[in-house]
Amino acid sequence: MTEAPLLPRNEDGIETAIGVLRQRFGERLHTGASVREQHGHTTTWIENQLPDAVVFPQSTDEVADVVRICAAHKVPVIAFGTGTSLEGHVNAPGGGISVDLSQMGKVLAVHAQDLDCVVQPGVTRADLNTHLRDQGLFFPIDPGANASLGGMAATRASGTNAVRYGTMKDNVLALEAVMADGRVIRTAQRARKSSAGYDLTRLLIGSEGTLGIITEITLRLQGIPEAISSARCSFPSVDAACRAVMMTIQYGVPVARIELLDEQSVRAANAYSKLSLPETPLLLLEFHGSEASVLEQAETFRTIADEFGGTGFAATTSTEERNQLWQARHDMYWATLQLRPGARGISTDVCVPISRLAECVTAAQDKAAELGLMAPIVGHVGDGNFHSLVLVDMDSETETANARQFVSWLNDLAISMDGTCTGEHGIGQGKRPYLVKELGAATDYMAAIKQALDPDNILNPGKILPG
């Protein structure tokens, strides 16, 4: 485990707030150790820091009540979606109250004519898409995990489809949020665009629960494409695969997904998902459009792939084959862990300008080898975003030290390439030192905004900003 810094605890305040919350929420307030543990960080090597209690509100008014009670006693309030974040976002370094939004799980409205919908924060991505299917609509952002849409908004999530459809910042029209003083605001109306005042929608997206708690989300939707096809193609090297990606993007092919698996990841996928892919770097693609357009896109890609030594190109419009391929992609986390049973997987996330992608991925592979680490790479490479999943024997001090060095080195490398220390995982606790390296003085103004909107620092303290 990696220790996460602690914050001073306001013991009296916490005790009082829990008393008041118990009166207000009765059995929807939990203080048992196992519930509290589940609401701390559980996914990576960052240690679990338990909240003192977990409350399950069922409405915006109830969230506002929680915040007002905690504000009155200066007690931390930590919004909780599904707990799939990777950088300690939901930890409680100073204790406090976890606000589990899973009981706010209603799709409140679908405006099919406007291609938008309004959901509560606990609705998950998969739930929403099931709900929308009959109307020929879908919500494109897919971070892999079946995360809640509130959590996805709060962390500016993206994933495989972002190359075509953008990230959460591009797909949220408006938010309702409870602010640190317990007041409820709406950040925008339902118009497709607006130039009315400061963009509080985008300010809250990616703020990781530190500026407000999102209680309602108005999302842009897409029509389910007339045709979807997928393709795969193997490459002689990561460099060749990345160059093919670069040209595909430059050529303006509107790929919906373009994912890289390096050779180790392909090996993991073969073993776990019972596939027989050639164990060299692989690109997986998906094309959305009309019947004619998806054929044309696949053909353009195949021509590009040929130039870079691509082999085994195979495209399909079969839903079954496509699902098999993407299921394998989504299972990569578990597949990779199986490469080294007993090891812990430490996922790190960087994003660089696409012209630097080949160089960055290759350097990461070389560095891992140099440090004796097994660190397979998968990436949303159309955006220049990739993850390295370092497989660490946590009992080996040398190995954990080397893994730490690798993560730090990779983040620094991405920043030095005019890239970012996090394409999509967010800052949480784990990436705070890199945020300052990346954005310098800008973080002072972030701190000023935090101070202005949450002067007592009760909303998810100890996240994003250093110190």
Number of residues that bind a second copy (CB under 8 A): 94
Q: Which of 170, 239, 279, 321 binds a second copy (CB under 8 A)?
A: 170
Q: Are 309 and 236 in contact (CB under 8 A)?
A: yes
The DSSP-derived string for 284-331 is: EEEEEE-HHHHHHHHHHHHHHHHHTT-EEEEEE--HHHHHHHHHHHHT
Give the separation between CA 275 and CA 325, rounded to whole angstroms. 9
Residue 275-314 contact track with a second copy, rule CB under 8 A, x = bound = --------------xx-xx--x------------------
CA nearest neighbour of 90 among 47, 61, 56 = 47
* Closer residue to a second copy in complex, CB, 100/176: 176
Binding of residue 359 to a second copy (CB under 8 A) = no
| Token couple for 315 | 């495209």
Residue 429-458 contact track with a second copy, rule CB under 8 A, x = bound = --x--xx--xxxxxxxxx-xxxxxx-----
* Closer residue to a second copy in complex, CB, 20/258: 258
| Token couple for 259 | 């994912």
CB of 441 to a second copy, least distance (A): 5
- Provide the edge-to-edge strand list for the sheet that holds 29-30: 29-30, 53-55, 97-100, 77-80
Beta strands in 92-171 (DSSP E): 97-100, 107-111, 116-119, 137-138
Q: Which of 4, 90, 343, 427 binds a second copy (CB under 8 A)?
A: 427
CA nearest neighbour of 253 among 297, 286, 289 = 297
Buried b (16+ CB within 10 A) or exposed e, 44-55: bbbebbbbbbbb
* Closer residue to a second copy in complex, CB, 115/371: 115
Q: Which of 426, 430, 461, 462 binds a second copy (CB under 8 A)?
A: 426
* Closer residue to a second copy in complex, CB, 283/325: 283
| Token couple for 173 | 């029209």
* Closer residue to a second copy in complex, CB, 199/393: 199
Phi-psi region of 289 (alpha: psi -120 to 50; beta: other; left: phi over 0): left
* Closer residue to a second copy in complex, CB, 56/386: 386
* Closer residue to a second copy in complex, CB, 14/351: 351
Query: Position of tokens 């405006």?
Result: 111
89: Cβ–Cβ under 8 A, 6 or more apart, which residues? 41, 155, 208, 209, 426, 428, 429, 460, 463
Cα separation values, 72 from 177, 184, 377, 411, 460, Å: 18, 16, 47, 39, 16
CB of 70 to a second copy, least distance (A): 18
3-class SS shares of the chain: helix, strand, coil, % to 5: 40, 20, 35
Residue 200-239 contact track with a second copy, rule CB under 8 A, x = bound = x-xx-xxx---x----------xx-xx-------------
CB of 414 to a second copy, least distance (A): 8
CB of 226 to a second copy, least distance (A): 8
Binding of residue 418 to a second copy (CB under 8 A) = yes
CB of 277 to a second copy, least distance (A): 27
Residue 243-262 contact track with a second copy, rule CB under 8 A, x = bound = ---x--xxxx----------
Q: Which of 74, 105, 129, 166 binds a second copy (CB under 8 A)?
A: 166
Q: Which of 1, 108, 126, 185 binds a second copy (CB under 8 A)?
A: 185
Angle at 430 between CA 425 and CA 435, to 5 degrees: 75
Q: Which of 70, 78, 145, 162 binds a second copy (CB under 8 A)?
A: 162
* Closer residue to a second copy in complex, CB, 27/198: 198
CB of 88 to a second copy, least distance (A): 14
Residue 2-31 contact track with a second copy, rule CB under 8 A, x = bound = ------------------------------
Q: 3-state class of 378 per DSSP?
A: strand
* Candidate ranges 72-80, 107-115, 265-273, 339-347; the one touching a second copy (CB under 8 A): 107-115
Q: Which of 8, 26, 197, 467 binds a second copy (CB under 8 A)?
A: 197
Binding of residue 274 to a second copy (CB under 8 A) = no
The number of helices, as runs of H, and strands, as runs of E, in the chain is 17, 18
Q: Which of 425, 429, 459, 462 binds a second copy (CB under 8 A)?
A: 425
* Candidate ranges 4-12, 105-113, 270-278, 307-315; the one touching a second copy (CB under 8 A): 105-113
Element housing 402 (H / E): helix 397-416
Q: Are 143 and 157 in contact (CB under 8 A)?
A: yes
Widest distance between CA atoms in the chain: 68
